[in-house]
Amino acid sequence: MKIVFHPIFYTVYTSDPAAEAGRMEAIVEELKDFEFVEPEPAKEEDILLVHTRSHYEEVKSMKKVYEVAIYAVGGAIKAAKIAFSEPAFAAIRPPGHHASPGHFWGFCYFNNIAIAVRKLIKEGLIKKAVIVDFDLHFGDGTANTFGNDLNVTYFHMPGGDVNSIDDFLKKEEYDIIAVSAGFDRHKDDWGGILETEDYKEIGRIVKENAEEKCDGRRFAVLEGGYNHKVLGKNVRAFVLGLDT
């Protein structure tokens, strides 16, 4: 199991909750016994696999955001590539699942997971992918990106129904499982729904289905989660489930 992380993610690049100081520190502290690897910044052509030129240029004009965001995309791509040999979790920010091809909002700028999946397909490494999103909020950007794409199916977990992920994964066919891992459904976060152990169960469900259906290929990228007192523990629970 690899944790993809770069020190640039400590940067407070805006005033929104996803960029708040201490957020990444809480995660890194809980994962310090795992092996960390650093990503390279994504290339322009990678980002343009999903986003329009005008979208890209608008984010690029936000210099501080852009400098971090290209590493976030690079982190998702690196995690996706690592997944062919072992599971990976990309502890990255800004998050991405609200970023559509030509629009961004909700603390997201580039759609990290969508770009990573689209790159795998373009390079011929996979034919089909599923994206499981357990963030509190629906990933409208991801859904918009792949709405007419028969090679990628997006699933957003309803409410606190962890078992719905298992039901979804059992009925689909795919070559890799990508996970938008948002932790804001926790009982002590915005959603007030899930226990910490539920995240371990989600990780286990993804792991078991990946091992059964796609040679174990699975990776996850960080989305939401804003209570620093529980965020690191929730991430650790999920990573343990995904790994063991």
Q: Would you name the residues annotated as active-site residues? A: 98
> Is residue 95 within 8 Å of residue 145, measured between CB atoms?
no
- Which has the closest alpha carbon to 187: 131, 229, 143, 129? 229
Count each helix (H run) and each strand (E run) in the chain, helices first: 9, 7
Q: Which residue type occupies 147?
A: G
Please give the structure tokens belonging to residue 134.
């357990």
List Cβ neighbours of 195 (8 Å cut-off, separation of 6 or more).
186, 187
CA atoms within 13 A on the CB side of 127: 3
CA atoms within 13 A on the CB side of 27: 32
Return the beta strands (E) in 30-113 as ranges.
35-37, 88-90
Report the distance separating Cα 31 and Cα 37, nearest Å. 12
Beta strands 35-37; 177-181: pairing state: unpaired
